Amino acid sequence: MARRLGQHFITDQRLLNRIVEAASLCSDDVVLEIGAGYGSLTELLCNHAGKVIAIEKDSVLVNHLNNIEADNLEIIHADALEVDFPYFNKIVSNLPYQISSPITFKFFKYDFDLAVLMYQYEFAKRISAQANTRDYSRLSVAAQYFADARILFKVPKNVFKPPPAVNSAVVSMRMKKTPRGALDEDFFLDVARASFAHRRKKLKNSLLANLAINRETLKEVPISLLNRRAETLNLTEFIQLSNTLITA
């Protein structure tokens, strides 16, 4: 099942140490780990954090996790996309790559301090991409709205078993405190989604086709902005656009 879920297990102890060091853990931290697998990272997290909550969907892997001798480990046998997360203040995970996008957007619904996450390298580039670049997307806008996001280091294929088809990267997301600027954050995310639904279309056409608004509402937005494409708007402009539309 692990391969079907897009899981690639880290076999390099030095890499595991680097990931844990990047999280700056202490005894006060409650760490959430998604896709704990065989528990190599889990055990290390238990040695540095006050508590570790490991979520794993695969029943065979859960049996391996149950063999870890740690009083501060809570194992949840569930699909991370379906279960509500208990309290945590940090996330440290070698994520199953097939759920990278939905699980990342789910993280943004929670209040926490820091995430240190393994992604496919191409996905990681989208998280930190800036406006007017090929990798800039709704993921870039969302990640940079909620967090100070950056790629910490690139990871080669040969430190995983089974090895993935592409290189990977470890990303740090230090979450921003509220208020972050948008009057309605769910609507802000809807605006970003609608804007990038058709990258080559002008913003006006993308919003009308993919957001529940009418032409009268769009009259509140400067025409010079509506004639641009989503990939040219920076984060501040997306916040201003969202706030204008929701108050129109």
Q: Which of 100, 187, 190 has the alpha carbon at shortest distance from 138?
A: 190
Sequence-distant (≥ 6) Cβ neighbours of residue 209 within 8 angstroms: 194, 197, 198, 201
| 56 in a labelled binding site | yes
| 10 in a labelled binding site | yes
State how far the alpha carbon of 79 is from the alpha carbons of 31, 117, 188, in Å: 17, 18, 27
Q: HSE (CB half, 13 Å, CA atoms) of 35?
A: 24
| 79 in a labelled binding site | yes
| 12 in a labelled binding site | no
| 234 in a labelled binding site | no
| 223 in a labelled binding site | no
The CA distance from 76 to 58, in Å, is 11
- Which amino acid belongs to residue 6? G
**CB 6: neighbour CB atoms within 10 A?**
15
For the chain, how many residues are written?
Answer: 248
Burial label, 219 (beta-carbon count in 10 A; 0-12, 13-18, 19+): exposed
- Which amino acid belongs to residue 173? M
Decide if 180 contacts 238 (C-beta within 8 A): no
**CB 156: neighbour CB atoms within 10 A?**
13
Binding residues for S-adenosyl-L-methionine: 8, 10, 35, 56, 79, 94
Binding residues: 8, 10, 35, 56, 79, 94
